[in-house]
Structure 1
Amino acid sequence: MSTTQGEAPPSEAVMPRSFPPEFRRKVLDFVASGRKVAEVAQLLGISDQTIYVWRRQHLTDTGQLPGTNSSDLCELAAARKRIAELEAELATQLGTVRSLHQAWSGSKSCAPKPSSPRGPDNRALLPGPRLVVMQPGSSEALRHSRAGTG
């Protein structure tokens, strides 16, 4: 099986190379000085499509074309990465909660027991002072107000 120049054989996956911004700027300067994109691409061993993408992004960054500028793209990439990290963390925590829930519901002996006696309304009967609500003007309220306790 033969391949054209610059094309990887089908069995080998080629990862895109990353070029520093200074290099991209110089490539675009060559093209802006009148050299053909195909000539610059062949000279530097990069794809002409890469140069077109860089030129389009440069025009977007300078406001000559509509679109998302490079700094916004960087922020968006960072936000997406953070979202992926948070989603992974959440999935881990949900797995832990589900495991604990299964362990808790699977064992009846682990059910919590009331720690204090309960009244008829299922409220805990706690020792100590209780709040008594009295209607204003009732005989009980008048007794407390005369005694100085209310």
Structure 2
Amino acid sequence: MGRRGYLPKFRRKVLDLLKAGRATTELAHDLDISTQTIYTWRRQDRIDRGLEPGLTSGEKAEPAVARRRIAELETELQATRRAIELIRQAAPPEDDVKPSR
């Protein structure tokens, strides 16, 4: 299983080495990463610079951020619903409440 989550600084250095003329297979071997990873980074870099069509890194990140926020809101809603349920169980129904004199 490969390593996930390379730092942007590391990715940038790999791309700089590619631009400087190093071979993809050589870099992959020396840095112990797959050639496919390097190809993917290179393609995404070209998209980000507007040289190829596709979703930019920022555009790809937006749905992930939205999904995380939706999950947070669903968790909050579930907690609120549970709190309301507990309050209803603890409080007597309004019909049983007698007005105070």
- TM-score band w.r.t. shorter chain: 0.7 to 0.9
From 78, 93, 97, give the equivalent of 1:111.
93
Structure with the greater alpha carbon radius of gyration: 1
- Aligned counterpart, 2:79: 92
Deviates more, 1:46-55 or 1:16-25: 16-25
Inter-partner Cα distance in structure 1 for 2:14 and 2:71: 34
Inter-partner Cα distance in structure 2 for 1:19 and 1:99: 45
From 50, 61, 66, give the equivalent of 1:79.
66
Higher relative contact order (CA 8 A, sep 6+): 2
Q: Which runs of 5+ in 2 are unaligned?
A: none
AA aligned to 1:111 is P
Inter-partner Cα distance in structure 1 for 2:55 and 2:40: 13
Q: Which whole-Å deviations, capped at 9, do the CAs of 1:90-135 have from their partners, x for residues lacking one?
A: 111122223444x27xx9xx3324878xxxxxxxxxxxxxxxxxxx
From 17, 24, 28, give the equivalent of 2:11.
24
AA aligned to 2:5 is S
- Aligned counterpart, 1:60: 47
Query: Secondary structure of 2:55's partner?
Result: coil
Identical-pair percentage: 42
| 1:45 partnered with 2:32 | yes
Q: Going by fraction, where is helix more abundant, 1 or 2? A: 2
- Aligned counterpart, 2:56: 69
Supply the RMSD in Å over aligned alpha carbons. 2.6
AA aligned to 1:94 is R
Query: Secondary structure of 1:84's partner?
Result: helix
Q: Which runs of 5+ in 1 are unaligned?
A: 1-13, 117-150
Q: Which whole-Å deviations, capped at 9, do the CAs of 1:67-106 have from their partners, x for residues lacking one?
A: 22112333433322222111111111122223444x27xx
AA aligned to 1:112 is E
Inter-partner Cα distance in structure 1 for 2:67 and 2:2: 21
